């Protein structure tokens, strides 16, 4: 009555899809062990890798777990051990990974009474704790894999999208922490019709590019006229890193989730590795501590 899960890191927004688009990575993720116990409740017994609260009410995995437990026909509870490999505040869905892993494992241990969309709803409660807003663009891809589109929040409607086989992501993380709640607060709450038209043109283009295996179209569509101009100011060397990735052959690049990580998409692993070296070189030149990794989209 115990299960071990890998919960992937995710890139949310993917430039033009603020709060609606996300993609799962295979190179980084949290590991969790979840176990059924007779005592009712959710108990986090161990966290390795990061200094995070063990109190279940203050931990995203605990909060997501309580949301599931409330709806489950089950008298007992769960114990959770977390090996936290994703740094909180890095922009690759740290809170989403733990929230999703917890509810996926609990559902599995209960014999899968809930649908994937139900699980997204529970995991979103973890996101609410982490960022004040229950956004689903990290938890949905963490749960479904590959790309997902949140077509609607009310009612929740998740559309899984399969990326072309040769699509790879490079993610570089400058070692600063940006809280999602802070980086949401600086955003404007209104936009002009002109900006909206550009943005939904790109989002449609990106989805079409993914479905038609059109790498050029994917690249052309990786533009963000709403969020990137504001948030990029918080990220050291953003413009230089982005330019270096494009010069090295990336299809496109942008901010991963709420930052500070920067992502680039490339065709083929070799290109993605080349992009990684180019991004790294910028940070070495300007003296920014960082780590970088390449993932296959799957």
State which of residues 98, 138, 202, 245 lies at the interface with ligand HSE (CB under 6 A).
Answer: 138
Residues 6 or more apart in contact with residue 91 via CB below 8 angstroms: 173, 178, 255, 256, 257, 258, 259, 260, 261
Name which of 30 and 274 has its Cβ closer to ligand HSE.
Answer: 30
Q: What is the x/- site pattern for ligand HSE, positions 84-103, by CB under 6 A?
A: ---------x----------
Name which of 245 and 258 has its Cβ closer to ligand HSE.
Answer: 258
Name which of 97 and 279 has its Cβ closer to ligand HSE.
Answer: 97
Q: Which of residues 141-180 bind ligand HSE (CB under 6 A)?
A: 180
Query: In this structure, are residues 208 and 217 in contact, taking their beta carbons and an 8 Å threshold?
Result: yes
Known catalytic residue at 127 = yes
Active-site choice (125, 127, 223, 228):
127
257 binds ligand HSE (CB under 6 A): yes
Q: What is the DSSP annotation of 133-177? A: S---TTHHHHHH-SEEEEEETTTTEEEEEPPPTTEEEEEEEES--
- Measured CA angle at 147 (ends 166, 201), to 5 deg: 95
Q: What is the smallest separation between the CB atom of 28 and ligand HSE, expressed in angstroms?
A: 14
State which of residues 3, 5, 19, 36 lies at the interface with ligand HSE (CB under 6 A).
Answer: 19
116 binds ligand HSE (CB under 6 A): no
CB atoms within 10 A of CB 188: 10
Looking up tokens 């990735």, which residue turns up?
Answer: 245
13 binds ligand HSE (CB under 6 A): yes
Distance CA 118, CA 248 (A): 41
Q: Where along the sequence are the contacts to ligand HSE (CB under 6 A)? A: 12-13, 18-19, 93, 135, 137-138, 180, 184, 257-258
The residues assigned a catalytic role are 127, 180
């Amino acid at each position: 009555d115990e299960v071990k899960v890998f919960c992937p890191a995710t890139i949310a927004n993917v430039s033009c899809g603020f709060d609606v688009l996300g993609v799962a990575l295979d190179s980084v993720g949290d590991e969790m062990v979840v176990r059924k116990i007779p005592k009712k409740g959710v108990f986090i017994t161990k966290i390795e890798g990061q200094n995070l609260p063990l109190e279940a009410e203050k931990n995203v995995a605990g909060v997501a777990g309580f949301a599931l437990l409330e709806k489950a026909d089950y008298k007992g509870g769960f114990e959770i051990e977390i090996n936290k490999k994703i740094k909180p505040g890095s922009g690759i869905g740290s809170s989403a990974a733990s929230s999703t892993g917890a509810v996926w494992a609990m559902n599995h241990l209960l014999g899968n009474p809930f649908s994937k969309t139900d699980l997204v709803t529970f995991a979103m409660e973890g996101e609410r704790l982490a960022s004040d807003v229950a956004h689903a663009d990290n938890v949905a891809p963490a749960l479904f894999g590959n790309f997902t589109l949140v077509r609607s929040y009310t009612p929740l409607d998740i559309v899984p999208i399969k990326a072309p086989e040769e699509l790879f992501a490079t993610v570089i993380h400058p070692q600063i922490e940006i809280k999602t709640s802070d980086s949401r607060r600086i955003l404007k709450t209104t936009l002009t019709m002109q900006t909206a038209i550009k943005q939904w043109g790109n989002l449609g283009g990106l989805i079409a590019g993914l479905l038609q295996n059109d790498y050029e179209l994917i690249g052309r569509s990786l533009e963000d006229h709403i969020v990137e101009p504001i948030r990029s100011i918080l990220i050291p060397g953003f413009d230089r890193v982005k330019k270096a990735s494009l010069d090295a052959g990336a299809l496109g690049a942008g901010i991963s989730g709420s930052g500070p990580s920067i992502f680039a998409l490339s065709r083929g692993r070799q290109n993605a590795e080349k992009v990684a070296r180019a991004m790294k070189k910028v940070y070495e030149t300007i003296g920014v501590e960082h780590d970088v990794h390449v993932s296959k989209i799957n």
